[in-house]
Each structure stands twice: as C-alpha cells, then as structure tokens.
A and B are shown apart, each in its own frame.
Chain A
Amino acid sequence: MIIYGVAVLAACLLAGMIVGDALGALLGVESNVGGVGFAMLLLIVLSDRMRGAGLFPQHSAEGVLFWSAMYIPIVVAMAATQNVVAAVGGGPVALLAGVGATALCWAMVPVLSRIGGVEEALPPIADHAEV
C-alpha cells in the first residue's frame, strides 16, 4: 500500500529530527543539527534493506516517489513565502555581506569538489522524463 511508503518516510524524518534535536541539545545550541541529513541516511539504508527483504514493493515506493515529485512545487511555495522585502531593503551592509559570502563560497566549489579526483557530470536529462 502507498501509505506504507509514506509512513516509512515520515518515520525517517521524525527519527532524524529527534536525533538532530538531541545532538543540538547535547552541543548546547538552540538548533537542529543535521536532522534532515540523518533522516535521509536512514531512508536510504532502511528502504534498501526492506527492498532486499521484499518488504518494500513498488506501491510502497510510490508513496515516497510522490513526495519526491512534489519537491519542486513545494520549493516554489517556499519561495513565495520568503521575506524578500527584508532581503531587498536590508541596505548596503546586508547586501554586501550576503553577496560577498555567496560569491566567495561559489568560487570555492571547484576547489573543494576536486579533492580526491574530479567526478564526471551526470548524464543530461530529457525534458519529457521530468515528473
């Protein structure tokens, strides 16, 4: 059933959040540390194990894939709820600090991704293959 996939996904995110919050509390910061990352690792490992054991059929996968397909629309909704007015109206200090930090870190991407050898580009994706 599709709900099984959704349930596994929800369980992974909840577990990840709890671990992230606990880690944050342990480090003494008022923030979740890596909750989404732990949830992703958990989903990768758990779904792989369950598939291997025959417990994660295609219908279950569809419950996860639906949310994956909803990712871009959700991000568009997120964009529509950002405080863009404050970003635009922050004045030169905010503008320069934000732009400067972004530009410098952009320049660092090729430097860091070269560590341990250059990786090949993903194959191009066809337009009609998009969901």
Chain B
Amino acid sequence: MELITATLTKNGLLFAFLLVGLVMWASYFLSHHLTRGRLHGSAVAIMVGLLLAYLGGLFSGGTKGLADIPLFAGLGIMGGAMLRDFAIVSTAYGVDLAEIRKSGLVGVLSLAFGIVLSFLVGAIVALAFGYGDAVSMTTIGAGAATYIVGPVTGTALGASSEVVALSVAAGLVKSVIVMIGTPFIAPLIGLNNPKSAMAYGGLMGTTSGVAGGLAATDKRLVPYGAMTATFYTGLGCLMGPSLMYLMIRAIFGA
C-alpha cells in the first residue's frame, strides 16, 4: 500500500491524468443517465472538480483544493496556469480572425463595463456592511472584479489585511459562480455565438471562471471569451488603485 502511494505521489502528473479521466467518465455517465444529457457532461465534471476542491481544502486546510494533499499534487500541475493557458491558446487554432475583428469594439466596451460595474457593486456592498472608507470600498470592489485585482489594489492602497482577505474571497465566489452558473444562464442571455462570448469574457473577467464556464456551455466559445478575459485582470490592476479609487472617493465622498 505504501509502495503504491509512493509511486502515485512520485508520478503525480500521470496520476492526475488517471484521476481526471475517471472524473470525466463518471461525469459523462451521470450526465447521460441522470439528466439525459440536459446538463452537459463537462458541466458535471467541473462541479465534481469544485466539490473535490472543497473536500480537499477541508481535509488539508490549504488553499489549493485537492492539490494540497501530496497524493493529488499532480492536479496542481495539470490544472496550473501553465498548462491551462497552453490549452486555452490551442483552442484558438482555426478561429477566424475576421470574427474577432468584427467583435473587437464589443470586447473593449465589455472590459470597461465589466471592471467598472464590478468595482461599484463591491464598493456598495462594502459600504452596506460598514466598510465606509474609500480604500476598503475600492479593495472589496477590486475583489469583486477578480481575486487577483483585489489584493493587488488593496496592497497598493494600503488596505487592512482583513479587507484584503475579504476581497480575495469575493473574487473566489465570483469565479466559482461563473464556473457553475454559465451553462444555466447562457440560454437566458443569448450566450451562444462568438460575439456574445467576447462580451462575456470582458464582462466576467475571471480567467478560471470564464475558462470553466464556457467549457461547460460550448467549447467552441472558449477562444472568444478567453481572448477578452485575458486583458481584464491586467486592466483591473491598472485601474483599481488609480481611476477606480478616485471615482469611488468622488462618488461616496469618503
């Protein structure tokens, strides 16, 4: 037993391939037999993944879900930023450049709207819960943009560590909701063509959320959504401590 565990730990990435293969098989099986294909197999698989991350986090007390348990550390390589970005870029193969150019304006506008609206919502929620100073409001607003923009903005503005932690949690909530919710909301908001996917990526911004949500909806939309989402975090980090801070301070006068 110990020998087997040692081998699996040493060859973590291979074990991750095996595990994810099993999760995919079980998820597609459940999708076909329990929901008659109404809930897509990939959507089920992502939910199973998130559930495993929750259980792993409870068990280990770490921050990387199931990957904090040494036996499953290979999942951290397989699902880490390097291979994720590699796979995202590969989905662009065969995409028509004209399609992207046609929707370029929508993509740019969606980025602006997505960032400003997220900051405002986060700031208003912060105010409602008694975090009334502009620094805390901006930081929690930044977290409502993405869980990277939150701490970057908070650090730049000198927010308290409690507020920074809240902003990270807000970003994580968003990312999880986008991953799970996209296939359900897609038919209601017309998310079924490249142009709406470009708007979606810019409005949501969370790379992991958009990557997972569009995978669960229709894989053909992934390159368009990812294309705009990839600019979001960088722009958010740029606008957060500057423009958004000044705007929130001007509006709420704190």
Contact = CB atoms under 8 A, between A and B. Distances in A.
A129 to B, nearest CB: 11
A93 B126 contact: yes
A57 to B, nearest CB: 14
Find the residue from A47, A72, A87, A105 having the highest chain B CB count within 10 A.
Answer: A105
B166 A98 contact: no
B49 A119 contact: no
Interface in B95-114: 95, 97, 100, 102-103, 105-106, 109-110, 113-114
Contacts, number: 351
A53 interface: no
Interface residues of B, number: 123
Chain B binding surface, main DSSP class? helix
Nearest to A33: B234
B248 interface: no
Given A106-B185, A110-B189, A47 B93 contact: yes
B193 A85 contact: no
B8 interface: no
A116 B117 contact: no
Interface in B182-211: 185, 189-196, 198-200, 202-204, 207-208, 211
A81 B65 contact: yes
Contact of A32 (B170, B181, B191, B234): B234
B244 interface: no
Given A43-B93, A75-B212, A105-B203, A82 B176 contact: yes
A121 B187 CA distance: 10
A70 B13 CA distance: 14
B234 A29 contact: yes
A89 interface: yes
Q: Which of A34, A47, A79 is most buried by chain B, counting CB atoms within 10 A of its CB?
A: A79
A70 B87 contact: yes
A43 B122 contact: no
B226 A115 contact: no
A29 B78 contact: no
Contacts of A96: 125, 128
B42 interface: yes
Contact of A90 (B76, B97, B166, B203): B166
A32 B78 CA distance: 21
Contact of A34 (B84, B141, B200, B234): B234
A27 B236 CA distance: 12
12 contacts: A34-B234, A61-B93, A71-B91, A75-B87, A76-B23, A77-B49, A81-B67, A86-B168, A97-B126, A105-B117, A105-B118, A112-B202
Interface of A: 9-10, 12-13, 16-17, 20, 23-24, 27-37, 39-41, 43-45, 47-48, 61, 64-68, 70-102, 104-110, 112-113, 115-116, 118-122, 125, 127
Interface of B: 16-17, 20-21, 23-24, 37, 42, 45-54, 56-58, 63-67, 72, 75-76, 78-80, 83-95, 97, 100, 102-103, 105-106, 109-110, 113-114, 117-118, 121-122, 124-126, 128-129, 131, 140-141, 143-145, 148, 152, 166-179, 181, 185, 189-196, 198-200, 202-204, 207-208, 211-212, 215, 218-223, 226-228, 230-231, 233-235, 237-238
